[in-house]
Copies of this chain bind each other. A is one copy, B any other.
Amino acid sequence: MTTCGRERHPTDYLTVDPITVKLSRFGVKLSSDAGIASLIDDLGRAMSGADDLIMMGGGNPGHIDAVHRLLKEKLAALAADDTRFRELINIYDPSQGHIRFNEHCARLLRREYGWDVGPENICLTNGSQTAFFMLLNMFGGRYPDGTMKKIRFPLAPEYIGYADLGIDDDLFISTRPHIEYLEDRQFKYRVDFDGLDIGEETGAICLSRPTNPTGNVVTDIELRRLHGLAEEHDIPLIIDSAYGLPFPHIVYTEASVFWDERIIICLSLSKLGLPAVRTGIVIASRHIIKSLAAMNAVISLAPGSFGALLVEELVQNGDIIELGKKVVKPFYLEKANKTLACVHKELRGIPYRVHRPEGAMFLWVWFENMPISSLELYHRLKRRGVLIVSGHYFFVGLSEPWQHSQECIRVTYSQDDDEIARGLRVIGSEVRALYDAAGATTS
């Protein structure tokens, strides 16, 4: 590609590289150096072993031996069955996803939760990210009548992966949470319903539960109130349950989930241990599912069959729920507790706080009045071989600056315990030096 004749404008070109590929607005917007892109790149390099880094960034799930062995058996069975193997590779699924899988899934949800769903309420996608790309742009952005609608996060911080997927600008609006101070240097974000002034500008309410990045589980009472607001404003309530209920059930508190046609629940196989398989599962009204299936056809032709066939039996017999409750959740709960103990040990003397770990696979650590920004801390830690994620990425859609948003980091505890301990030691030493230099360490 050669340069074009006129003066360059910075937004004309890729920001990822000083080159001159001319791209559309869509191209520029979706291919700039997105937070999610740099995150995924860090993650890919670290997980592939290409660099010698301690991986405490990213959302790669852990290696759970029991899950590994179970799914290896399922794969071997697929490889031994000509009919299912042909389905696995040689036959396009409908754009709504694998028919039998969707039937099994609907039956499971009816049976276990009493939800009034059939296969017409389920659509598979090539991963949950693709589902959110479709859903958030379906309900946010420019409407046919020319109005612009936003996706509302009832509290920030919220998942980094949403931040860059808007085709239209300024897709998100979020509200600063209440901070509830808890014992043992912990805190919990609570939805500030007084600040949640939903109007005509809101196309949908969206939250992850448990929340990525904080491990917060929005309470049942909060969820009911959000549902009421969605009803009142006649908009959908989108619940990203990639870490939550009904599976993989990485939830450490008492929490329940419900569904009706107002609600769109997004599930995933990733956090059960299958991120490379790319299977998202959306449960919604049949009208929304029809729409998603049509968009799947346009964007993906059809979702892949691999995830559906690999876990088909687990969904059919309900074992997928037990697997979450009895294997996956305890695995992460134990790691959460170990990591939390390690945080208290390695960060001693630093004015840190940790969001109460209620689920998912992250600790969210807050360094109040830290002398540098969390992004600068990320760079310093990366130079010392430790990957975390700077918290600032997760505060999308806030209307005004908030110092707190520059003071938090996300620490993933899904990988090796010893590495996590080593990583936390590095974090402790780096941050302690910062506060020491500023004369702010507590004794």
Chain A residues with CB under 8 Å of chain B are 1-2, 4, 9, 11-12, 14, 16-17, 19, 21-28, 30-34, 36-37, 39-41, 43-45, 47-48, 50, 58, 60-61, 63, 68, 71-72, 75-76, 78-80, 82, 85-96, 99, 126-130, 133-134, 137-145, 149, 161, 164-165, 167-168, 203, 234, 236, 261-262, 273-278, 285, 287-288, 290-295, 297-306, 310
Asked whether A21 and B287 contact (CB < 8 A) given A34-B297, A165-B298, A274-B89, the answer is yes
Give CA–CA (A133, B296) in the complex, Å.
Answer: 11
CB distance from A339 to the nearest CB of B (A): 20
**Which residue of the partner chain, among B24, B33, B72, contacts A137 with CB atoms under 8 Å?**
B24
Are B22 and A298 within 8 A (Cβ)? no
Verify A305–B291 contact, CB threshold 8 A.
Answer: no
Q: Are A295 and B129 in contact (CB under 8 A)?
A: no
List chain B residues, Cβ under 8 A from A234. 1-2, 4
The winner among A48, A89, A161, A234 for most chain B CB atoms within 10 A is A89
In the complex, the answer to whether A138 meets B24 with C-beta atoms within 8 Å is yes
B130 touches A300 (CB 8 A): yes
Determine if B299 and A30 form an interchain contact, defined as CB atoms under 8 angstroms apart: yes
Q: Which residue of chain B has its CB nearest to the CB of A91? A: B47
Q: How far is the CB of A290 from chain B (nearest CB, A)?
A: 5
Which residues from B are CB-within-8-Å of A58?
92
A27, B290: Cα distance in complex, Å: 12
The complex places the Cα of A167 from the Cα of B134 at a distance, in Å, of 12
- A313 to chain B minimum Cβ distance, whole angstroms, is 15
Q: Are B290 and A17 in contact (CB under 8 A)?
A: yes
5 contacts between A and B (CB under 8 A): A36-B298, A40-B302, A60-B90, A126-B300, A278-B301
Of B142, B300, B305, which is within 8 A of A25 by CB? B142
* Chain B residues closer than 8 Å to A75, beta-carbon distance: 75, 78-79, 85, 88
Give the oligomeric copy count.
2
**Are A72's CB and B85's CB within 8 A?**
yes
Residues of B within 8 A of A298 (CB): 30-31, 34, 36-37, 129, 133, 164-165
Tell whether A79 pairs with B72 under 8 Å between CB atoms, given A137-B27, A139-B27, A304-B306. yes
**With A37-B95, A86-B63 known to touch, is A143 a contact of B291 (CB < 8 Å)?**
no
In the complex, residue of chain B having the shortest beta-carbon distance to the beta carbon of A305: B276
Q: Report if A304-B291 is in contact (Cβ < 8 Å); known contacts: A40-B94, A143-B24, A143-B25.
A: no
- Expressed in whole angstroms, the minimum distance between the Cβ of A140 and any Cβ of chain B is 6
Query: Complex: how many Å from CA A285 to CA B128?
Result: 29
Which residues from B are CB-within-8-Å of A288? 21
Contact B302–A44 (Cβ < 8 Å) = yes
Query: Complex: how many Å from CA A132 to CA B137?
Result: 18
Partner of A71, one of B16, B89, B130: B89
CB distance from A12 to the nearest CB of B (A): 5
A274 contacts which chain B residues (CB < 8 A)? 89-90
Give bound CA distance, A179 to B156, whole Å.
60
Closest to A235 in B: B22
Question: Whole-angstrom distance between the alpha carbons of A33 and B167 in the complex?
Answer: 21
Pick the contact of A30: B4, B130, B295 (CB < 8 A).
B295
Cβ distance A172 to chain B, nearest Cβ, rounded Å: 14
A165 to B134: give the CA distance in the assembly, Å. Answer: 13
Smallest CB–CB gap between A93 and chain B, Å? 6
